């Protein structure tokens, strides 16, 4: 058998056959696959990193938006506090003026609402040390302002209109409210600036998130081109990117709307604040007008009107009683005793009307430049006799005490009244210290006095002192701590009325168990002082009698005119009585030998000062005696210049002394 050697073709050798196309592809693209795989892993890692960065950027944006919302809430709440405080004070003003319970309830509700808003505001500022300090100071000022307004609210609640208005006026001038407003503006300004910064930060976070999202989409597209298997992941990432972009746009729109809302709310609050400022200005003007109207109408008309009628009646009573006593004092001792009792009561009533007039600031003042130190020293004998031996009196006056422009006798009355009060407070035994010294006051340092130079006259006792609730009421008319029948409660009111009528004020410093100091502050007079008035001499037991004169009497009240005419006749004068100023001028024309003009101050038609001015043009040297119980509108001291003034009611001795002084002054002017 022949062996056939065949040569096999490479195509026939299975072992030598080439690989399948897929295998060839895998083998051929294996390096590329590694590259693609490495790139895919790199892109995947980059994708994961980008996803993490986008998530963190979104969280940072959300935190920025939350902080923006908190700042906005702080701004709104701070403005709400300011608006609530303003509404509370406006409601309290209406409550004080009208005593209506509705505004009072509104005041309490708004005040509590402001306090709750302050507490919420303190919780919102968080860890901000500056804002926390401001909120703590706001809480303190809120409590202080509440105490200031509570006094006026309490008085208004008891329908004590005038004291409530006075306290509300004082509270209106307190620096507490401007401090609260400044702090609220500081809180609002700080949070508004912070709100702008946080809004900008939120916008920047949104832009950063958008940039990362765009980078993420690029990486996803690259990954989709390189690895088909990662397409689903890329699609998912794109979907997440779209959602994130939509959220970012939504949050950006929300931030824009939030900023617009803040701007609109800020504009509304600014308008409300302007309106409240206008209302506060209007309220201040209304308070000033109301205070003036109430002072003049409720006090001046009441006390002045009562004093006018009362003084006219007392003039008749005193004149009639004294005339009767002169007739019966030798015949009937019992009648004299009753008449003396009636005269004592009438004189006490006259003293009460003088205090009412001083309280109403209707007492006519005859001011002059006086040195307070010399006046106090000149009163030492009078004070010693008044206070008694058990009171040690110490008068300390600086050598260079400034002069003051006041009615010296009214100041003597005020000092004497304070000394008597101090004696009663010390139960008749102790040390009474009087001082006169110069002081310079800043604005608001002493009540409503303006800044400038003043003289302080202080009366200090070593008595039991007064608790705070009594000190708050010492200037109220008819308020007294003395037993019934031992005080009218008008002493300090009279002193306060005189001091304020003279451009000054009165202050009281007292504590239980530590004594009391009452200070009269009077403005400095820049000029030379006149000599201190001489000590008051007692009236003579019997009035001097002037014979041979003729007096022209002008008095509109029939009873007073008859009583005064009888008293002048008793003093030896021939009286020509008239019921009005024009009638007196007519009688003067036909009766040229008039030696004295005696006229009431307040008369219908032509007042006493008008009559005196007309008479002086006709008879320049004629002695003039003016009689007043209530000055009304004729309370200018210049109108009384050159005329003797006699206050109703008066005794026969006082009338005789006034007539003697008037005729003596007339003789000096004629000479």
Write down the domain spans for the chain: 29-296, 298-358, 372-523, 549-670
Q: What is the mean pLDDT of residues 221-227?
A: 66
pLDDT given at position 575: 93
pLDDT given at position 599: 92
Fold that domain 372-523 belongs to in CATH? Heat Shock Protein 90 (3.30.565)
Q: What is the mean pLDDT of residues 87-112?
A: 84
Which sign does the torsion angle of CA 38, 41, 45, 47 carry? positive
pLDDT given at position 628: 83
pLDDT tens profile 238-272: 888 889 888 988 888 888 998 889 988 898 888 98
Q: What is the mean pLDDT of residues 632-654?
A: 69
Instruction: Mean pLDDT check: name the lowest of 142-146, 274-278, 372-376, 386-390.
Output: 386-390
Q: What percent of the chain has pLDDT over 70?
A: 72
pLDDT given at position 95: 80
pLDDT given at position 288: 65
Question: Which residues are within 8 A (CB) of 353 and not within 5 positions of it... i.e. 6 or more apart?
Answer: 306, 307, 310, 311, 314, 629
* SS (HEC) of 341-396: HHHHHHHHHHHHHHHHHHHCCCCCCCCEEECHHHHHHHCHHHHHHHHCCCEEEEEE
Question: Which residues are within 8 A (CB) of 214 and not within 5 positions of it... i.e. 6 or more apart?
Answer: none
Tokens representing 615 are 């008479």
pLDDT tens profile 294-351: 554 555 555 555 565 566 656 666 666 666 666 665 556 556 655 665 666 666 566 6
546 pLDDT more than 70:
no
Tokens representing 536 are 């008051």
What mean pLDDT value characterizes the chain?
Answer: 76
Tokens representing 140 are 């303190």
pTM for the model stands at: 0.37
pLDDT band at 536 (very low <50, low <70, confident <90, very high): very low
pLDDT tens profile 50-73: 778 877 877 777 777 777 777 888
548 pLDDT more than 60:
no
User: Does the fold of domain 549-670 match that of domain 372-523?
Assistant: no
Question: Which residues are within 8 A (CB) of 478 and not within 5 positions of it... i.e. 6 or more apart?
Answer: 488, 489, 490
Helix (H, G, I), strand (E, B) or coil at 540: coil
pLDDT given at position 284: 81
| Cis preceding-peptide flag for 115 (omega within 30 of 0) | no
CATH number at 549-670: 3.40.50.2300
């Amino acid at each position: 058998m022949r062996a056939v050697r065949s040569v096999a073709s490479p195509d026939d050798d299975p072992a030598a056959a080439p690989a399948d196309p897929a295998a060839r592809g895998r083998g051929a693209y294996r390096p590329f696959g590694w590259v693609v795989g490495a790139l895919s892993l790199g892109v995947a890692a980059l994708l994961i990193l980008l996803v993490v960065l986008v998530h963190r950027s979104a969280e940072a944006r959300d935190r920025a938006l939350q902080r923006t919302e908190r700042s906005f809430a702080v701004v709104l709440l701070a403005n709400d506090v300011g608006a609530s405080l303003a509404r509370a004070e406006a409601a309290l003003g209406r409550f004080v003026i009208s005593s209506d319970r509705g505004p009072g309830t509104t005041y309490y509700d708004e005040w509590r609402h402001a306090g709750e808003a302050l507490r919420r505001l303190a919780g919102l500022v968080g860890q901000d040390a500056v804002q926390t300090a401001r909120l703590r100071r706001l809480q303190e000022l809120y409590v202080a302002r509440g105490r200031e307004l509570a006094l006026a609210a309490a008085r208004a609640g008891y329908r004590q209109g005038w004291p409530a208005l006075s306290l509300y006026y004082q509270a209106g001038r307190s620096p507490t409210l401007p401090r609260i407003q400044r702090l609220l503006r500081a809180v609002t300004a700080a949070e508004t600036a912070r709100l702008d910064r946080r809004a900008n930060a939120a916008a920047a976070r949104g832009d950063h998130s958008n940039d990362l999202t765009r980078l993420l989409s690029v990486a996803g597209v690259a990954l989709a081109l390189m690895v088909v298997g990662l397409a689903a992941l890329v699609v998912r990432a794109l979907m997440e990117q779209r959602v994130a972009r939509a959220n970012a746009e939504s949050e950006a729109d929300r931030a824009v709307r939030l900023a617009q809302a803040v701007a609109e709310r800020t504009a509304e609050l600014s308008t409300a604040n302007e309106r409240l400022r206008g209302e506060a200005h209007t309220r201040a003007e209304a308070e000033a007008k109301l205070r003036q109207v109430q002072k003049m109408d409720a006090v001046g008309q009441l006390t002045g009107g009562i004093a006018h009628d009362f003084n006219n009646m007392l003039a008749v009573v005193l004149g009639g009683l004294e005339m009767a006593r002169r007739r019966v004092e030798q015949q009937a001792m019992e009648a004299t005793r009753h008449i003396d009792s009636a005269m004592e009561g009438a004189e006490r009533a006259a003293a009460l009307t003088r205090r009412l007039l001083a309280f109403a600031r209707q007492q006519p003042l005859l001011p002059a430049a006086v040195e307070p130190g010399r006046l106090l020293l000149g009163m030492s004998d009078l004070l010693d006799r008044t206070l008694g031996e058990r009171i040690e009196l110490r008068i300390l006056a600086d050598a260079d005490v400034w002069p003051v422009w006041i009615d010296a006798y009214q100041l003597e009355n005020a000092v004497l009244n304070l000394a008597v009060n101090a004696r009663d407070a010390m139960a008749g035994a102790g040390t009474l210290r009087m001082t006169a010294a110069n002081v310079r006051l800043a604005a608001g340092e002493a009540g409503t006095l303006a800044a400038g130079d003043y003289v302080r006259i202080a009366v200090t006792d070593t008595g039991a002192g007064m608790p705070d609730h009594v000190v708050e009421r010492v200037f109220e008319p008819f308020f007294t701590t003395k037993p019934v029948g031992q005080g009218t409660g008008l002493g300090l009111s009279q002193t306060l009325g005189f001091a304020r009528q003279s451009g000054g004020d009165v202050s009281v410093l007292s504590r239980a168990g530590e004594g009391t100091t009452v200070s009269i502050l009077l403005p400095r007079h820049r000029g030379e002082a006149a000599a201190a008035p001489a000590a008051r001499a007692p009236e003579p037991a019997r009035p001097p009698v002037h014979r041979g004169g003729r007096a022209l009497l002008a008095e509109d009240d029939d009873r007073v005119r008859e009583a005064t005419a009888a008293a002048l006749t008793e003093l030896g004068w021939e009286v020509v009585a008239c019921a009005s100023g024009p009638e007196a001028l007519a009688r003067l024309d036909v009766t040229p030998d008039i030696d004295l003009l005696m006229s009431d101050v307040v008369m219908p038609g032509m007042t006493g000062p008008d009559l005196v001015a007309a008479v002086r043009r006709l008879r320049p040297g004629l002695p003039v005696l003016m009689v007043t119980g209530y000055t009304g509108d004729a309370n200018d001291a210049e109108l009384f210049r050159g005329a003797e003034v006699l206050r109703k009611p008066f005794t026969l001795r006082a009338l005789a002394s006034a007539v003697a002084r008037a005729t003596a002054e007339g003789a000096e002017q004629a000479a």
